[in-house]
C-alpha cells in the first residue's frame, strides 16, 4: 500500500452483542477502530434483517467514529435520507439496489454525505466505470451479503486488483474497502491486491480482546 493511503479498519457492528450496542461501540472505539461499519439488511435484498435508522441515530451521540453505513436494501432510494439524517458519514449501496445507480449516488452527495458503491461477488468491476466521479468508496464483497461469519471468497482477489487500477487511473481519491471473511489470515492478500479499508465483524467482535484483534489484522495487512 502506498504511503498516501492509510489503512482503515472498520469493525462491523453486525457481530456485536445487540443487547449492549452502546457499550460495544464505546469498546470498539477504545480498542482502536478507525471506522464503524453498520450493516443494514432488509430481508428482501438479502435473506436477513438487522437494524434500521433509529438504531444508527441512537448510537450517533455515543461515538466519534466515522459511521460507514452499508445498505443492503432494495429499492434503496427511499432509505437514503433517513440514514443521512440518522448520522451516517458514508452511505454505500449495491449496484443492484435500484434502477438508477447514478441518481441514487447524486442523492447521497446532495445530502452532504460520502457515497459508496458495493459489488457483490458476481458483479463486475466495469459496473462502476461511469460513476467514479461521484463516489468516495468502492466496497467489494468477499462473501455473499446477508450474514457474518462466512468463508472468504479468494476468487475476488483479481477483481480487487482490477478495481485498484481503475481507481488509480481515475485520479479520484476513492477508497477500496473489502467486506466478508476478513481475518489476520486473509487481510494480507486483500491489501496486497490493493485494498485500503477492511471490514471485520466476527474476527473482532468474537475475540476476547478487541484491541488485540484489531492490531492482529493491522499487522497481517502490512
Question: Does the footprint of Zn ion cover residue 113 (CB under 5 A)?
Answer: no
Contact 158, 142 (CB under 8 A): no
| Partners of residue 12 on adjacent β-strands | 37
The C-alpha atoms of residue 188 and residue 190 are separated, in whole angstroms, by 6
Question: Does the footprint of Zn ion cover residue 39 (CB under 5 A)?
Answer: yes
Residue number, 71 or 174, with CB nearest to Zn ion: 71
Q: Which of 24, 179, 196, 216 binds Zn ion (CB under 5 A)?
A: 179
Closest alpha carbon to 143 in 68, 69, 70, 44: 70
Residue 132 CA to its chain's centroid (Å): 17
Footprint (CB under 5 A) of Zn ion, residues 52-71: 70
In the annotation, is 39 catalytic? Answer: yes
- Choose the contact partner of 146 out of ligand DX5, Zn ion, none; CB within 5 to 8 A by kind: ligand DX5
State phi, psi for 71 to the nearest 5 degrees.
-90, 115
Residue number, 105 or 187, with CB nearest to ligand DX5: 187
Residue number, 16 or 167, with CB nearest to ligand DX5: 16
The C-alpha atoms of residue 198 and residue 187 are separated, in whole angstroms, by 8
| Partners of residue 42 on adjacent β-strands | 49
Closest alpha carbon to 159 in 191, 192, 121: 121
Of 39, 136, 196, 216, catalytic: 39
Residue number, 39 or 136, with CB nearest to ligand DX5: 39
Residue number, 125 or 148, with CB nearest to ligand DX5: 148
* Least distance to Zn ion, CB of residue 76, Å: 14
- Choose the contact partner of 53 out of Zn ion, ligand DX5, none; CB within 5 to 8 A by kind: none
Q: Which residues lie near ligand DX5 (CB under 6 A)?
A: 12, 14-15, 37, 39, 70, 143, 145-146, 148-150, 179-182, 199-203
> Which runs of consecutive H residues, i.e. helices, occur in the chain?
21-30, 53-59, 80-86, 101-110, 157-170, 184-193, 202-205, 210-221
C-alpha cell at 200: 471485520
Of 42, 68, 136, 179, catalytic: 179
* Least distance to ligand DX5, CB of residue 169, Å: 27
Number of residues interacting with Zn ion: please give it, by CB under 5 A: 3
The C-alpha atoms of residue 48 and residue 57 are separated, in whole angstroms, by 21
In the annotation, is 196 catalytic? Answer: no
Task: Write out the catalytic residue numbers.
Answer: 39, 179
Interface residues toward Zn ion, by CB under 5 A: 39, 70, 179
Amino acid at each position: 500500500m502506498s504511503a498516501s493511503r492509510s489503512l482503515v479498519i472498520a469493525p462491523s457492528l453486525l457481530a456485536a452483542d445487540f443487547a449492549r450496542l452502546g457499550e460495544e461501540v464505546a469498546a470498539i472505539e477504545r480498542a482502536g477502530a478507525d471506522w464503524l461499519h453498520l450493516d443494514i439488511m432488509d430481508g428482501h435484498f438479502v435473506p436477513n434483517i438487522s437494524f434500521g435508522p433509529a438504531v444508527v441515530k441512537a448510537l450517533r451521540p455515543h461515538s466519534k467514529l466515522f459511521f460507514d453505513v452499508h445498505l443492503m436494501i432494495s429499492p434503496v432510494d427511499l432509505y437514503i435520507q433517513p440514514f443521512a439524517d440518522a448520522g451516517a458519514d458514508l452511505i454505500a449501496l449495491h449496484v443492484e439496489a435500484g434502477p438508477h445507480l447514478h441518481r441514487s449516488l447524486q442523492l447521497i452527495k446532495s445530502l452532504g454525505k460520502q457515497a459508496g458503491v458495493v459489488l457483490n461477488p458476481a458483479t463486475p468491476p466495469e459496473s462502476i466505470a461511469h460513476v467514479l466521479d461521484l463516489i468516495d468508496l468502492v466496497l467489494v464483497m468477499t462473501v455473499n451479503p446477508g450474514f457474518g461469519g462466512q468463508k472468504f471468497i479468494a476468487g475476488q482477489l483479481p477483481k480487487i486488483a482490477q478495481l485498484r487500477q481503475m481507481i488509480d487511473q481515475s485520479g479520484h481519491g476513492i477508497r477500496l474497502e473489502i467486506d466478508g471473511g476478513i481475518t489476520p489470515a486473509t487481510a494480507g492478500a486483500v491489501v496486497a491486491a490493493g485494498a485500503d479499508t477492511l471490514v471485520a465483524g466476527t474476527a473482532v467482535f468474537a475475540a476476547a480482546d478487541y484491541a488485540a484483534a484489531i492490531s492482529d489484522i493491522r499487522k497481517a495487512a502490512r
